[in-house]
Structure 1
Amino acid sequence: MKRYLLIMLLSFCCAISAQQGTSLTDKQKAKQEEEIEKRKAKYVDDLIAELNIDEFQQHIVKQKLYDYFDEKLKILQINQPYFKREQQIQDLDATYFEDLNGVIPDEAIAKMKKRLKGEDEEDSKKKKKKKKRKKKSKDN
């Protein structure tokens, strides 16, 4: 009888601790999604500030960038082979901003595409400086 009560008590405690573990992961997921949204908003704001376009154009580009990120996320979440996903992303990159040609200057579109691909010159300069600092700190 005592064993039976002990087993029931232990199984009840395990069930409660398992439920608490899942609620923590839900909180962590919500916090992580919030952090991602903050980073995305900061990235979009920084990119728009670099483009040197007027307020109306900024609003259009901002909406277009958020839609672009949503479309890219949908592609990445689909369970497909790697090469198909990469092809879809390349197609998205090539065609998604074509309708902005008449709205903003071509230089701004080129700069935006370059930044989205990660080919920004400022970022590469920062990375080189960071590598030099790491190398110096390893040598010392």
Structure 2
Amino acid sequence: MPLMKFHVYEGRSDAEISLLLDTAHDSMVRSFGVPERDRYQILSEHRASHLRALDTGLQIGRTHKFVLVEVVSRPRDQAQKIAFYDILCKDLRSKCGIDASDVMISFVENSDADWSFGHGKAQFLTGDL
């Protein structure tokens, strides 16, 4: 936890996808202090006709390298989120060649009762986590 969902245009190699996921996880660990093995990621590839990501009128240019990142998480404070936006964009630029203009991030918050990591238990509520 957090659960990170990635939406990208199809066409990246397995190596590019692996680097993207590894880079995003490292950014998450550094920004939120989550444990290294606290890694839950899903990447979905979309044909260009199935993914639209404009700029909300901000004049942000998008390319075929566009990445939409959804972060499903327990509540995080504003400063942590802002740091994550910055760190992730810088890391994706330096390690993956993805410009900040091609990175969109959205947080979806939920509570401790909304997570079960297995065995039919709510580990945040039982005290196992």
TM-score of the two chains, using structure 1 as the length reference: 0.33
Q: Which has the higher helix share?
A: 1
Tell me which structure has the larger Cα radius of gyration. Answer: 1
TM-score of the two chains, using structure 2 as the length reference: 0.35
